[in-house]
């Protein structure tokens, strides 16, 4: 588990979009070569992030994330689905990604 308290995120993260971008970029940074088997016979990256130009001239951050989910989620609706997400790895978060 790569634990990160909300107060360790940089102060400029003040929107849901920035929060999501920070988190997925950090997950990609911590797990650059982690591959998983989603379908028999092939592997894919657990976290993938790319920048891509859009037709309107803007630049888009595109992310694909494959998180393991505890299978008990289907039998216990007392918690929201995000609470059933499991860790991808146990990697220390670099200091430069944390607010001092």
Sign of CA dihedral 27, 30, 32, 33: negative
49 - beta bridge partners? 63
**Domain spans of the chain?**
6-94
Q: In sequence order, what are the beta bridge partners of 45?
A: 35
Q: Which of 42, 29, 34 is nearest to 67 (CA)?
A: 34
Q: Residue-wise pLDDT tens for the chain (100 aa)?
A: 678 888 888 888 999 999 999 999 999 999 999 999 999 999 999 999 999 999 999 999 999 999 999 999 999 989 999 999 999 999 989 989 988 5
Q: Is 27 helix (H, G, I), strand (E, B) or coil?
A: helix
The structure's pTM equals 0.86
């Amino acid at each position: 588990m790569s634990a990160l308290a909300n107060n360790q995120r940089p102060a400029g993260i003040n929107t849901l979009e920035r929060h999501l971008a920070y988190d997925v970029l950090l997950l990609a940074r911590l797990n650059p070569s982690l591959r998983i088997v989603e379908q028999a016979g092939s592997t894919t990256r657990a976290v993938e992030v790319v920048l891509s130009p859009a037709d309107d001239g803007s630049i888009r951050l595109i992310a694909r994330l494959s998180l393991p989910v505890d299978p008990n989620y289907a039998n216990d609706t007392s918690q929201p689905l995000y609470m059933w997400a499991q860790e991808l790895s146990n990697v220390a978060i670099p200091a430069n990604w944390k607010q001092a």
